[in-house]
Amino acid sequence: MSMVQIVAGIDTQYFPTALRLLDQLRFESAEVKLVHVLESVLSDRGFPELEPDHPISQILATRKELGQTMLSEASEMLQGTNYRCKEDLIKGIPAQVLIEAADEEKADIIAVGSAQKGKWESLFFGSVTKALTAESRQSILVAKSEPKDKEGLSVVFATDHSPYCNGCLEKFLYWKPRGVRRITLLTAYPYDETPAISDAEETGLAAIREEGRAEIRRKNAEICQRLRDEGYECESRVVDSYPQRGIDAVMTETSADLLILGARGHGFWQRLALGSVSHHAVVASPHNVLVIRA
């Protein structure tokens, strides 16, 4: 049996959405470490040694008590599931602490709740989810809203059929999320955005585009059959669109509960890719999203 190791960030506002989504994914077997991060109130983010009656000590004590309360509530939410839970309260910077905890636990997924942020807000203001997407080695589950489908989750799995995306699919199947009922396998490629400079060239491009679409449809059909063999309902969608635009359209059309897509690498170059599909999905779209690292 595959055991999925999960670190769940427990803040003071959004964590219930993340835990409910984890519950509804119904991984066949999982262990969840619930982590609340006690942040410093100082500009240098430090934790100096102070007397208990110092105002900063009192503020931190109050916040620590609140954190323990949140952890207890989180544990209660997962009671009755098949997930094993443990709790930890750690001082530090939220994203950094969650990544270090996930590395220590050899976690597969970091799960957090998040507010829905717009394009400009996500560009100019930092967030835990943004930092996790850029820096973590783990897959990231970001929950922003309650699932719509009460009879099993409906998901859109976006793929470009690269070896990396194929590896992400293998990892998804290994985790055995039994709460997923229906999968829309989506490939979005902007064939129609390629300009032609003459009628003759347009004829040639049209043939190339159709050949490309046919190959994608064939690959999607093969994967859909495999997903059906694993017990999931599956349909294929191939759209002539840039990925972000195509994903948003299909998520809306299918009323999907969750978007799943792959992400390459981590670190400095990933942080620079502010226009990347995974970054957009995490911080600038309204969708629940699972970014898988193969």
CATH number at residue 124: 3.40.50.12370
pLDDT of res. 189 = 78
pLDDT of res. 188 = 85
pLDDT of res. 277 = 59
Question: Can you give the residue range of the structural domain that contains 83?
Answer: 4-292
DSSP codes joined into one string, 22-67: HHHH-BSSEEEEEEEEE--SSTT-------TTSHHHHHHHHHHHHH
pLDDT of res. 286 = 81
The two tokens of residue 39 are: 């942040």
Residue among 105, 148, 142, 139 nearest 127 (CA): 142
At residue 126, the 3 state secondary structure works out as coil
pLDDT of res. 108 = 97
Q: The tokens 């799960």 sit on which residue?
A: 111
At residue 98, the 3 state secondary structure works out as helix
pLDDT of res. 22 = 96
Distance separating alpha carbons of residues 276 and 283, to the nearest angstrom: 11
pLDDT of res. 282 = 60
pLDDT of res. 213 = 83
3-state secondary structure labels for all residues of 182-225: EEEEEEECCHHHCCCCCHHHHHHHHHHHHHHHHHHHHHHHHHHH
Model's pTM, two decimal places?
0.86
| Domains of the chain: total | 1
pLDDT of res. 200 = 54
Distances (CA, A) of 212 to 76, 83, 219: 51, 43, 11
Q: For the chain, which residues score pLDDT lower than 50?
A: 119-126, 196, 265-275
At 93-126, the pLDDT tens digits run 999 999 999 999 999 999 999 876 554 444 433 4
pLDDT of res. 268 = 33
Taking each helix axis as running N to C, give the angle between helix 128-135 and helix 94-105, from 0 to 180 degrees, rounded to the nearest 10.
40
Distance separating alpha carbons of residues 234 and 104, to the nearest angstrom: 36
How many CA atoms are closer than 13 Å to the CA of 109, on its beta-carbon side?
A: 30
- Using the CB atoms, write b or e for 141-172: b if 16+ within 10 Å: bbbbeebebeebbbbbbbbebeebbeebbebb
pLDDT of res. 273 = 38
